[in-house]
């Protein structure tokens, strides 16, 4: 292994009340890796992704971004909380997320959505940010929709704006939380096409998805989660042709 | 028909209204400045209080809740009387530095009562709009690296203010109508002038219909300002206009 991994998750645990959703998951992504995370609903794959940027606070386990550990501490109720919220905010700015429900800011135009992070988190000079935002909108094929509000776009267009918004932060790692699951079938392709381009560019991506084709063709590594644990992982070529565990075999036959 | 003939059909003493119209204009001025100064200060107070009410802050949330509960639970008239007649009962208030310029003046007492009243209503109204902010949009801001303050300033409040516009237009109109309370503590607002006219000439219709018309005109203005605000700031929630051709194209029948 060469150098420091772009993202490392070490023995992550997460419970909601009595129910343990993530039971010690570890994962490591080198720069340029595309890791597809598969699993049935309830397998904890979305929760795992949301623990990485602390949208959910893990009960234990560590997250390292380019070798830097997100520092956690225990509060007086014994709950795990971030030790330094500023550090977490800095980390989040380097870990862009694309959501299942797009989550574009509805009162802002497409352009304003893309400019928000660079201008108000990274404090990029306006002209520079504007230049980049225009280029990114062109890249996702929406240069002519810059002045539209999200509600006036199709789901596929909204998700492409969300990807442009994430790219605007120049993230070290991109987290995709079922990016095509809320889309009508005919709109899935346009979003996957953009994601394929990003993978080809060498972006480091963690993609929680139900798109088997994407996992098989695009990912450098596929991870199958079952009941909050890594059940099977490896190169997609091997995994899809030669599944080892009964659970993954059953999952694959259900998906096909 | 001449103008005089037309006027003779109206069972009102128009000339009396005309003769006293400058008093009515002064009444309009009193009503407007009381109402809008109270609304302005009330809105400024409501913003931090609504943020506190939408938060789970252990100290400020219950305190603000108590305040809005009391001021929304009692009539504006009673609140105004308590301040105007009530405070004067206490010697230490009469002798305090606040008495001479402020609490001995009916205008100031009305302004204080109106401000506290509208602040309470606006707080709860804005609180509702804040907690209605789509959860996913807040998460997107968190994931982008926005701090709590940046989230409030950039996402939650701009979104909440927009959602609050239609409900707030009601609050503005209620406050305008509620401001008639000023006329019961000697102030010559619009209704105050109407009452004066009635008392002086014993002509109820002249004074009160003129007052009603003036309030009505002000409401028309307020409503059109809010229509403009909604068009401008709620564009993102409206359907985008489709080209005319799209509307007349019939659905293909199968």
| B142, B147, B158 ranked by CB distance to A107: nearest | B158
Q: How far apart are CA A226 and CA A232, in angstroms?
A: 9
For chain B, positions 143-202, list CB contacts with chain A under 8 A. 143-147, 150, 154-155, 158-159, 162
Nearest alpha-carbon partner for B120 in B58, B175, B57, B182: B175
Q: Global pTM?
A: 0.88
| Token digits of residue A47 | 């929760």
Task: Give the least confident one: A34-38, A241-245, B8-12.
Answer: B8-12
B13-235: in CATH 1.10.3720.10: yes
Q: Is B144 within 8 Å of A96 when comparing Cβ atoms? A: yes
Nearest alpha-carbon partner for A218 in A252, A191, A253: A191
Residue A177 neighbours by CB distance under 10 Å: 24
| A108, A121, A152 ranked by CB distance to B145: nearest | A121
| A101, A104, A107 ranked by CB distance to B162: nearest | A107
Average pLDDT over residues B190-199: 93
Strand A229-234 with A221-226, pairing:
antiparallel
Q: Hey, CA dihedral for B80, B81, B84, B90, is it positive or negative?
A: negative
> What's the mean per-residue pLDDT of chain B?
90
| Token digits of residue B138 | 């807040």
Residue located via tokens 């606070």: A57
Q: Is A89 within 8 Å of B237 when comparing Cβ atoms? A: no
The DSSP secondary structure of B176-199, one letter per residue, reads HHHGGGGGGGT--SHHHHHHHHHH
pLDDT, position B8: 75
Confidence of residue A16 (pLDDT cuts 50, 70, 90): very high
Q: Is A148 within 8 Å of B240 when comparing Cβ atoms? A: yes
| B137, B142, B147 ranked by CB distance to A55: nearest | B142
pLDDT, position B239: 67
B232: contact with A, CB 8 A cutoff: no
Tell me phi and psi for residue A105, to 5 degrees.
Answer: -75, 115
Distances in whole angstroms, Cα of residue A188 to Cα of each of A142, A174, A181: 16, 19, 8
Contact call for residues A56 and A50 (beta carbons, < 8 A): yes
pLDDT, position B243: 42
Buried b (16+ CB within 10 A) or exposed e, A122-144: eebeeeebbebbeebbebbebee
Alpha-carbon dihedral of residues B154, A170, A71, A178, nearest 10 degrees?
80
**Segment A173-195, tens digit of pLDDT:** 999 999 999 999 999 999 999 99
- The side-by-side arrangement of strands in the sheet containing A205-208 is A95-98, A173-177, A205-208, A34-38, A221-226, A229-234
pLDDT, position B249: 42
Contacts of B235 in chain A (CB under 8 A): 149
- What three-state secondary structure class fits A225? strand
The ipTM estimated for the assembled molecules is 0.94
Average pLDDT over residues A106-126: 96
Residue located via tokens 């862009």: A96
Which of the residues B143, B236, B240, B242 would you substitute to probe the A interface, choosing the one with the greatest number of A C-beta atoms within 10 Å? B143
Nearest alpha-carbon partner for B213 in B245, B185, B191: B191
Residue B48 neighbours by CB distance under 10 Å: 12
Contact call for residues A57 and A51 (beta carbons, < 8 A): yes
Contact call for residues A55 and A100 (beta carbons, < 8 A): no
| Token digits of residue B100 | 């001479």
Task: Give the least confident one: A94-98, A216-220, B18-22, B93-97.
Answer: B93-97
Q: What residue segments make up the domains of chain B, in order of their start?
A: 13-235
Q: Is B235 within 8 Å of A121 when comparing Cβ atoms? A: no
pLDDT, position A2: 56
Q: How far apart are CA A204 and CA A197, in angstroms?
A: 12
- What three-state secondary structure class fits B62? helix
Q: How far apart are CA B222 and CA B22, in angstroms?
A: 23
Strand A95-98 with A173-177, pairing:
parallel
Average pLDDT over residues B84-103: 81
**Segment A47-88, tens digit of pLDDT:** 999 999 999 999 999 999 999 999 999 988 888 999 999 999
Report the phi/psi class of residue B29: left, alpha or beta, with left for phi > 0 and alpha for psi in -120 to 50.
alpha
Which of the residues B58, B136, B138, B144 would you substitute to probe the A interface, choosing the one with the greatest number of A C-beta atoms within 10 Å? B144
Q: Is B155 within 8 Å of A105 when comparing Cβ atoms? A: yes
């Amino acid at each position: 292994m060469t150098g420091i991994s772009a993202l490392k998750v070490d023995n992550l645990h997460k419970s909601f009340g009595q129910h343990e959703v993530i039971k010690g998951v570890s994962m490591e992504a080198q720069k340029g890796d595309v890791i597809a995370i598969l699993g049935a609903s309830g397998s904890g794959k979305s929760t795992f992704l949301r623990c990485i940027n602390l949208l959910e606070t893990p009960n234990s386990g560590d997250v390292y971004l380019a070798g830097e550990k997100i520092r956690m501490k225990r509060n007086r109720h014994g709950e795990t909380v971030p030790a330094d919220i500023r550090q977490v905010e800095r980390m989040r700015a380097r870990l862009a997320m694309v959501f299942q429900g797009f989550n574009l800011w509805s009162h802002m135009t497409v352009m304003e959505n893309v400019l928000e992070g660079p201008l108000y988190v990274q404090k990029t000079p306006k002209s520079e940010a504007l230049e980049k935002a225009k280029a990114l909108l062109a890249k996702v094929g929406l240069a002519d929709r810059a002045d539209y509000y999200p509600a006036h776009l199709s789901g596929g267009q909204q998700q492409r704006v969300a990807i442009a918004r994430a790219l605007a932060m120049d993230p070290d790692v991109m987290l995709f939380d079922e990016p095509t699951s809320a889309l009508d079938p005919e709109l899935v392709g346009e979003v996957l096409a953009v994601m394929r381009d990003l993978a080809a560019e060498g972006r480091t991506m963690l993609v929680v998805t139900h798109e088997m084709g994407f996992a098989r063709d695009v990912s450098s590594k596929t991870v199958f989660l079952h009941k909050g644990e890594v059940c099977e992982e490896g190169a997609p070529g091997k995994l899809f042709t030669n599944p080892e565990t009964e659970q993954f075999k059953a999952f694959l036959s259900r998906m096909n | 028909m001449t103008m005089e003939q037309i006027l003779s059909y109206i069972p009102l003493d128009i000339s009396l209204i005309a003769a006293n119209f400058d008093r009515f204009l002064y009444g309009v001025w009193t009503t407007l400045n009381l109402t809008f100064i109270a609304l302005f200060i009330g809105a400024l107070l409501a913003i931090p209080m609504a943020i506190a009410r939408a938060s789970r802050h252990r100290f400020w949330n219950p305190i603000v809740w108590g305040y809005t509960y009391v001021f929304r639970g009692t009539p504006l008239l009673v609140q105004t009387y308590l301040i105007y007649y009530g405070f004067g009962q206490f010697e230490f208030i009469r002798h305090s530095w606040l008495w001479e310029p402020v609490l001995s003046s009916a205008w100031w007492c009305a302004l204080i009562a109106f401000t506290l009243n509208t602040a309470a209503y606006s707080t709860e109204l804005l609180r509702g709009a804040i907690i209605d902010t789509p959860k996913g949009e807040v998460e997107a801001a968190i994931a982008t690296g926005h701090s709590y303050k940046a989230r409030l300033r950039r996402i939650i409040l701009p979104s909440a203010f927009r959602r609050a516009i239609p409900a707030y237009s009601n609050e503005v109109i209620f406050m305008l109508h509620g401001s008639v309370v000023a006329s019961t503590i000697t102030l010559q607002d619009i209704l105050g002038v109407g009452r004066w006219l009635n008392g002086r000439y014993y002509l109820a219709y002249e004074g009160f219909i003129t007052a009603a018309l003036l309030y009505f005109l002000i409401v028309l203005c307020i409503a059109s300002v809010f229509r403009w605000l909604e068009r401008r700031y709620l564009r993102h929630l409206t359907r985008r206009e489709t080209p005319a051709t799209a509307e007349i194209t019939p659905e293909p029948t199968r």
